[in-house]
Amino acid sequence: MPELPEVETVKRGLAPSMEGRLLTRLELRRPDLRFPLPADFAARVEGRRIVSLSRRAKYLLIDLEDGLSILSHLGMSGSYRIERQDETGLPGQFHMARSRDEKHDHVIFHLDGPDGDSARIIYNDPRRFGFMDLVERRNMDQHAAFAGLGPEPVGNALDADYLASRFKGKAQPLKSTLLDQRVIAGLGNIYVCEALWRAHLSPAKPAGALVSAEGRPVTALEDLTFAIRTVIAEAIEAGGSSLRDHIQADGSLGYFQHSFNVYDREDEPCRTPGCHGTVQRMTQAGRSTFYCSVCQV
């Protein structure tokens, strides 16, 4: 589920329940996720205060006092949910209904607030493609997860000139090039499909075809850059506006239904105004690509 906008929404949803609180206990219900959890994980973080939540690419960062951060990647199926202390104030009572796949609750953050109110933040991940690590913030860029990572799609670093420099000479299809986190950080299968649809570009087109002989971006690359930035910005906006309802629903964060224009719409009509095409599906690099063969060229 989680691409950059979903992780950003999770961060915003968790922040009010985590920032400023004391991490009293880290409950590890198994020794590993996708990879082994860091050595002495609980001992290194327990008793520290959470100063802020941040995000880089698809990584959620729980920044602790004293310069240490917990790095959390949600993989394909990771999600967080919040369990607050019961409003009645009974100690140890939580009003959340138990999730039916509680067996996949792998990591539980026990938090104390300034007024003694407590909360639990629960990481659930059925497929265990997610992982966590500990990193000193001053060494953040050297961490394997961040070394070589491309720019954020909504930051100032992403523009058509940058993409031209990365696309130049590439025979690789646009689809797999945009999925490469070293080119742009945070795009996943859904938003790559959506961005290419918006820019009316074929996912199979070689990335290098969007660069002139002089290394300059052609118009289509300007369009693609704009499409990437807007599709991500709008998804973050949509996630934010759905956040309140979503937490109210069941305390979970990270699963909210957006409406997509091409993703998972095989055989349905293309939504490009005036286009009478039908959404197609093909496999590229082992992943499904959804596109309109009429207006994406």
Catalytic positions, written as ranges: 2-3, 58, 287
Among 25, 34, 137, 205, indicate the residue that binds DNA (CB under 7 A).
34
CA gap 57, 108 in Å, rounded = 23
Candidate ranges 9-17, 113-121, 132-140, 184-192; the one touching DNA (CB under 7 A): 184-192
Q: Should residue 176 be labelled a site residue for DNA when binding is judged by CB under 7 A?
A: yes
Residue 103 or 244: which CB sits closer to DNA?
103
Give SS3 for 14: helix
End-to-end CA distance of the chain: 28
Between residue 63 and residue 102, which ones bind DNA under the rule CB under 7 A? 73, 75-77, 101
Cβ at position 287, least distance to DNA in Å:
5
Contact code string over 40-59 relative to DNA, x by CB under 7 A: -----------------xx-
Q: Should residue 196 be labelled a site residue for DNA when binding is judged by CB under 7 A?
A: no
Q: Should residue 172 be labelled a site residue for DNA when binding is judged by CB under 7 A?
A: yes
Q: Should residue 250 be labelled a site residue for DNA when binding is judged by CB under 7 A?
A: no
Q: Should residue 20 be labelled a site residue for DNA when binding is judged by CB under 7 A?
A: no
Q: Interior CA angle at 52 toward 43 and 148, to 5°?
A: 85
- Determine the residue type at 221: L
Two structure tokens written together for 145 = 């997860």
Between residue 102 and residue 131, which ones bind DNA under the rule CB under 7 A? 103-104, 126-129
Residue 118 or 186: which CB sits closer to DNA?
186
CA gap 16, 25 in Å, rounded = 19
CA gap 181, 22 in Å, rounded = 33
Residue 19 or 180: which CB sits closer to DNA?
180
**Count of residues that interact with DNA, criterion CB under 7 A:** 37
Contact code string over 135-154 relative to DNA, x by CB under 7 A: ---------xx---------
CA gap 247, 57 in Å, rounded = 23
CA gap 4, 55 in Å, rounded = 9
How many Cα neighbours within 13 Å face the side chain of 282? 13
- Nearby residues of 155 by Cβ (< 8 Å), 6 or more positions away: none
Phi, psi of 215 (to 5 degrees): 85, 10
Cβ at position 256, least distance to DNA in Å:
8
Residue 278's DSSP bridge partners are 269
Residue 20 or 208: which CB sits closer to DNA?
208
CA gap 291, 108 in Å, rounded = 40
* Binding positions for DNA, rule: CB under 7 A: 1-3, 6, 34, 57-58, 73, 75-77, 101, 103-104, 126-129, 144-145, 170-173, 176-177, 179, 181, 188-190, 255, 258, 285-288
